[in-house]
């Protein structure tokens, strides 16, 4: 059984232009040595001269992520994804991770869905989206239980009992509908996982790190 952890895929992109080879090599070396601040500085130096460089944007996003600067990571991964190059899918995937770590699960789920639409065989995006859907469903279940407990513990006030009961019934119906939507979405993702033979995405001109970072 797969451990329910968020995955951060990191790639060392092969430089596309000779003028930035040294900077990318230096940034990659520093990143491998876990000197993320220095790696970020190296990637940013490239971006000052070539702000559209996909590999440098991706590297800056990864370094910012490990520095827990998720806002900067989001901006860098977005920039990498805009280039429509070989790292687009992985940049989007890691953008979802950055959103999640920043606490914006709604945006994270939207990005994972985008990745899956573009590549239904991306098992890691399916995995992470499923986790978010399950979290949402569990939270809704907990909210329903808390509401039921509060209704049982609170005596009805004279003249207001019927209205309170109606409000409670309406809230429960709404929560039940949301639970069903989340369950249906999770079921669709699970069906997708069963119907496809997944493989981790490989980027053109990129070599995947054998160690996949497990983040949550």
What H or E segment, with its residue span, contains residue 213? Answer: strand 213-214
| Interior angle at CA 12, CA 4 and CA 57, nearest 5 | 90
Give the pLDDT of residue 117: 94
Q: What predicted TM-score, i.e. pTM, was given to this entire model?
A: 0.65
* Domain boundaries along the sequence of the chain: 7-104+202-214
Rg (CA), the chain: 22
Determine the pLDDT at residue 21: 79
The pLDDT value recorded for residue 51 is 93
pLDDT digits (tens, 9 = 90+) for 195-213: 443 333 333 333 333 333 3
How is residue 35 written in tokens?
């000197």
Q: CATH second-level architecture of 7-104+202-214? A: Alpha Horseshoe (1.25)
pLDDT above 60: residue 10: no
Task: Tell me the average pLDDT across 155-172.
Answer: 55
- The pLDDT assigned to 160 comes to 53
Question: pLDDT tens digits, residue range 75-113?
Answer: 999 999 999 899 999 999 999 999 999 999 999 999 999
* Strands 213-214 and 7-8, sheet pairing: antiparallel
**pLDDT value at position 138?**
84
Confidence of residue 181 (pLDDT cuts 50, 70, 90): low
């Amino acid at each position: 059984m797969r451990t329910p952890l968020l995955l951060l895929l990191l790639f060392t992109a092969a430089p596309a232009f000779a003028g930035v080879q040294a900077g990318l090599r230096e940034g990659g070396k520093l990143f491998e040595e876990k000197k993320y601040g220095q790696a970020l500085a190296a990637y940013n130096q490239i971006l000052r001269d070539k702000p559209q460089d996909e590999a440098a944007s991706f590297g800056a996003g990864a370094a910012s992520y490990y520095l827990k600067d998720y806002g900067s990571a989001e901006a860098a991964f977005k920039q990498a994804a805009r280039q429509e190059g070989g790292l687009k899918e992985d940049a989007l995937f890691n953008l979802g991770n950055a959103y999640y770590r920043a606490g914006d699960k709604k945006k994270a789920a939207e990005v994972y869905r985008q990745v899956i639409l573009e590549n239904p065989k991306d098992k890691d995006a399916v995995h992470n989206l499923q986790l978010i859907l399950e979290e949402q469903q569990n939270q809704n279940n907990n909210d329903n239980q808390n509401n039921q407990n509060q209704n049982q513990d609170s005596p009805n006030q004279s003249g207001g009992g019927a209205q309170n009961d109606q409000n409670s019934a309406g809230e429960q119906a709404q929560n039940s509908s949301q639970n069903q939507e989340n369950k249906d979405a999770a079921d669709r993702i699970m069906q997708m996982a069963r119907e496809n033979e997944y493989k981790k995405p490989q980027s053109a001109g990129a070599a995947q790190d054998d160690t996949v970072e497990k983040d949550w």
